[in-house]
C-alpha cells in the first residue's frame, strides 16, 4: 500500500449538465493538461475520454433534468494526469454490465460504447457508482516525458 501521492498541480470545475458544457469541459481539461507538453495524440485521447464521461452525466445520470457535474484534475510528478468526473444523478445499478460494449440505457440512438471508448483512450479507468447517489469516473493517462529538466 502506497501513501497518498499529492498532485503538483490541480484544478476543479463545476458545470451544469447541459450539452453545451461538454465541449467546455473537454477544452478546460485540455488547457490544464497542456502544461505536461503532451503530443496531439495524447491530448486528443484525454479530450475524447473526458467528452464521453461528461456526455454520460448529461445523457444518463441526469436524464430529464439538469444537475451538476464536478470535474477535478491533478497532474503528478511522473507525468500522469488524473481526471475525475462526478455526478449525483441516478447511479448505475450494475457497473460491470454498464461497462460492456453496446450496453446502453439511453435508447436506440445511443451506441453503448462510452466506457469502452474511455478505457481505450486512457491508461486506467475506474467507475464507482451507487443507485440514487451518483457516479464517479476516474481517468488516468501518462504523458511521455520528452525532455528532462533537472533544474
Q: Kindly list the catalytic residues.
A: 52, 56, 110
* β partners of residue 80: 142
| Contacts with 109 (C-beta within 8 Å, 6 or more apart), sequence order | none
Q: Among the residues of the chain, which ranges form H helices?
A: 20-33, 40-56, 95-98, 114-121
Query: What DSSP state is assigned to residue 58?
Result: I
In whole angstroms, how far apart are CA 151 and each of 10, 27, 65, 99, 148? 22, 30, 50, 43, 9
Amino acid at each position: 500500500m502506497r501513501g497518498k501521492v499529492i498532485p503538483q498541480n490541480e484544478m476543479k470545475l463545476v458545470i451544469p449538465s447541459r450539452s453545451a458544457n461538454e465541449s467546455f469541459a473537454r477544452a478546460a481539461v485540455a488547457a490544464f493538461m497542456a502544461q505536461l507538453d503532451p503530443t496531439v495524440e495524447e491530448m486528443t485521447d484525454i479530450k475524447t475520454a473526458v467528452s464521453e464521461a461528461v456526455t454520460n452525466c448529461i445523457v444518463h445520470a441526469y436524464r430529464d433534468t439538469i444537475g451538476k457535474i464536478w470535474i477535478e484534475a491533478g497532474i503528478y510528478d511522473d507525468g500522469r494526469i488524473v481526471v475525475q468526473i462526478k455526478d449525483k444523478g441516478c447511479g448505475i445499478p450494475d457497473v460491470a454490465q454498464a461497462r460492456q460494449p453496446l450496453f446502453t440505457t439511453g435508447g436506440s440512438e445511443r451506441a453503448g460504447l462510452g466506457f469502452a471508448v474511455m478505457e481505450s483512450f486512457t491508461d486506467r479507468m475506474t467507475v464507482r457508482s451507487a443507485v440514487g447517489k451518483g457516479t464517479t469516473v476516474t481517468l488516468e493517462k501518462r504523458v511521455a516525458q520528452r525532455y528532462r529538466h533537472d533544474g
